[in-house]
Amino acid sequence: MRRNNKIILLGIVILTLMAAWVVWPRADGFSLQLGGLSFERKSLKLGLDLQGGTSLVMQGDLSSVPTSTADKAMDGVVNVLERRINGYGVAEATIQRQGADRILVQLPGVRDVQEAINLIGKTAQLDFREQQPGPDGQMQWVPATALGNDGQQQQLTGKYFQPNSQVSFDQQTGKPQVNFEWNSEGAKLFEQITGRLIGKPLGIFLDNEMISAPTVQSVIRDSGVITGVGLQEAQLLAIQLNAGALPIPVNIIQQQDVDATLGADSLQKSLLAGQIGLGIVALFMLIHYRVPGLLADIALLVYSTLALAVFQLIPVTLTLAGIAGFILSIGMAVDANILIFERTKEEVRAGRTLGAAIEAGFSRAWTSIRDSNFSTLITCVILFWFGSNFGASIVTGFAVTLALGVIISMFTAIIVTRTFLRTLVSSQFGRSLASFGVEPHTTTQKLAVAATGD
């Protein structure tokens, strides 16, 4: 065996063992510390159709936003949503833009659609108002303003909050309340406003709805409390205040609640289908191509291990459509091996030695493998663009897993299978034509014809 082939074979073995270590079942939270680096083994990231949860498609209202800043406004919405969801504690949530004004939000494990809407769907613009007589003599709520650090009148809103609001309970009534702190600008405004409103109500409005109107008892500067909300509302409000208000209003245009039981059943059936398909393909390769088929089956196991490891490390959100893309890529990996083996058999029948036939077979099959796989990759790019811009997350998941599978299958077909065959040919067993599915008399007859010049 050539030295280079030994090195490549050793590299394949090490890479496969590392990939198997990544995908092997283990307890959650296992991590490895290497110096200052931390490597954590994570489970496959399952989509909503497998894990269950809530899916929302949101559309931003850009009607009042200049075209030049629309993109930044949508990015701002994504950032605020990420902070809200992280504060709520949803694991492995997906938040991604779709097109110019839409955002897909997937919340695994969240079953209550309305709760999800209350958390992320509200603009959460908090402002303070005071009462003044209207034209008809009736008291009405108007924005509470004061002089800011720039000497201009500023409206008192939640944008001046420190990001440390939290829920507490009133010691006298036992009711929940939200504690907040001002930054320096907010403290200056709040001090002026409470100073002139002693004995008068100060209205607290959330998205133009009054949630409480406590009477100011004294001048307050650095902090305050929001009352008049239930415990769940207080918890959501604290998260929203810490994350900040959405820069533009958003509307929920699509909502979906996925049952976890249905997801688990679908996952089991998909895995069973994949195992049956893999077994049938492996059996066909073994019967039809004999020893090379066995090597192709081993390469197929290497491919599956590498692909699952890549899915976990990126990580790829695995959906039913994604599993379908992965299974399809397995078929394409086998297809590459079939092209190589058939070309190799043709070269053997033409009178080449096994070693020369293998090299020629790979060389001549490469153009077909390259063209078919690159065509598939181009299709994947188109599907990914379509899914990302038109809200079809299922199409996106299919495109991602298929593309990754195709890329890895090219590696296993050209590098792994080729290395295995070179190793086999260098052994005594691998020099038998029968082990490659080629009848010895066929080659002998061709050589005899060539020698006689007929």
| CA distances to 3, 241, 299, 332, 349 from 16, in Å | 20, 48, 10, 20, 34
Better-predicted residue by pLDDT, 26 or 253: 253
For residue 215, being part of any structural domain is answered with: yes
Tokens of 141: 């709520």
SS3 at position 223 = strand
Q: What's the pLDDT band for 236 if we cut at 50, 70, 90? A: confident
Tokens of 354: 């096994």
Same domain, 282 and 408: yes
The average pLDDT across 344-365 equals: 85
More confident residue, 38 or 84: 84
Between strands 153-155 and 145-147, the pairing is: antiparallel
Residue 22 CB partners (closer than 8 Å, separation 6+) = 41, 308, 309, 312, 313
**Confidence band of 104 (pLDDT split at 50, 70, 90):** confident
Band (83; pLDDT cuts 50, 70, 90): confident
- Nearest C-alpha neighbor of 305 from the set 278, 285, 286: 278
- Three-state SS at 439: coil
Cα–Cα dist 331/353, whole Å: 29
Choose the final residue of a domain: 257, 280, 307: 257
Average pLDDT over residues 13-36: 71
- Which band of pLDDT confidence, cut at 50, 70 and 90, is reported for residue 121? confident
- The answer as to whether 296 is a domain residue is yes
- The conformation of residue 318, written as its DSSP 8-state character, comes to E
Overall size of the chain counted in residues? 454
Q: Using the predicted structure, report yes or no on whether residue 97 has a pLDDT greater than 50.
A: yes
Answer with the one of 229, 257, 285 that is the final residue of a domain: 257
| Token pair listed for 3 | 């030295």
Residues 118 and 138 in one domain: no
Alpha-carbon distance values, 104 to 18, 51, 80, 235, 416 (Å): 34, 17, 14, 24, 39
Residues 103 and 147 in one domain: no
The pLDDT of 66-80, averaged and rounded, is 88
Q: Does 59 score more than 60 pLDDT?
A: yes
Cis peptide before 315 (omega within 30 of 0): yes
Which tokens is 94 given? 């997906």
When comparing pLDDT for 76 and 40, which is higher? Answer: 76
Q: What's the angle, vertex CA 78, arms to CA 55 and CA 31, rounded to 5?
A: 80
The answer on 423 and 283 residing in a single domain is yes
Domain co-membership, 302 together with 374:
yes
pLDDT (mean) for 55-61: 89
pLDDT for residue 439: 62
Query: Do 292 and 215 fall within a single domain?
Result: no
Cβ-contact 168, 176 below 8 angstroms: yes
Q: What's the alpha-carbon Rg for the chain, to the nearest Å? A: 33
DSSP-derived secondary structure letter, 413: I
d(CA 150, CA 162): 20
Q: How many helices (H) and strands (E) does the chain have?
A: 12, 17
Tell me if 102 is assigned to some domain: yes
- Res. 337: pLDDT tops 60: yes
The DSSP result for 400-442, as a single string, is HHHHHHHHHHHHIIIIIHHHHHHHHHTSSGGG-SGGGT--HHH
**In CATH, what number is assigned to the domain containing residue 30?**
1.20.1640.10
- 3-class SS at 213? coil
Which range of residues forms the domain containing residue 81? 53-122+251-257
Is the pLDDT assigned to residue 34 strictly greater than 70?
Answer: no
Instruction: Flag whether pLDDT at 76 surpasses 70.
Output: yes
Say what the pTM is. Answer: 0.63
CB within 8 A of 236, min separation 6: which ones? 88, 118, 119
pLDDT band at 36 (very low <50, low <70, confident <90, very high): very low
Question: Could you tell me if residue 118 is inside a domain?
Answer: yes
The CATH number assigned to the domain holding 159 equals 3.30.1360.200
Q: How far is it, in rounded angstroms, from Cα 376 to Cα 372? A: 6
With beta carbons less than 8 A apart as the criterion, state whether 189 and 149 touch.
Answer: no
As a whole number of angstroms, the distance between CA 273 and CA 332 comes to 17
Residue 111's CATH number: 3.30.70.3400
- Segment 77-82 shows an average pLDDT of 87
Would residue 48 count as lying in a domain? no
Residue 192's pLDDT band, with cuts at 50, 70 and 90, is very high
Same domain, 310 and 197: no
What is the rounded CA–CA span in Å between residue 28 and residue 45? 13
Q: Are residues 148 and 295 in the same domain?
A: no
- To which H or E segment does residue 259 belong? none
Q: What is the pLDDT of residues 372-417, one digit of tens each?
A: 999 999 999 999 888 877 767 778 888 999 999 999 998 998 899 8
Query: How far apart are alpha carbons 11 and 13 in whole angstroms?
Result: 5
- Pair (35, 70) in one structural domain: no
Which residue type sits at 102?
R
292 occurs within a structural domain: yes
Domain count, the chain: 3
Same domain, 447 and 318: yes
- Rounded CA-CA distance 358/352 in Å is 9
The per-residue pLDDT for 146 is 94
- Give me the residue label for tokens 């909502």: 255
Can you tell me whether residue 125 is helix, strand or coil? coil
Task: Determine the average pLDDT of the residues in 132-139.
Answer: 86
State the DSSP string of 221-277: -SEEEE-S--HHHHHHHHHHHHH---SS-EEEEEEEEE-HHHHHHHHHHHHHHHHHH
Torsion angle in degrees (nearest 10) through CA of 317, 298, 294, 374: 50
Q: Are residues 114 and 175 located together in one domain of the fold?
A: no
The confidence band for 347, taking pLDDT boundaries of 50, 70 and 90, is confident
Q: 322: part of which helix (H) or strand (E)?
A: helix 320-349
Pair 137, 116 in one domain = no
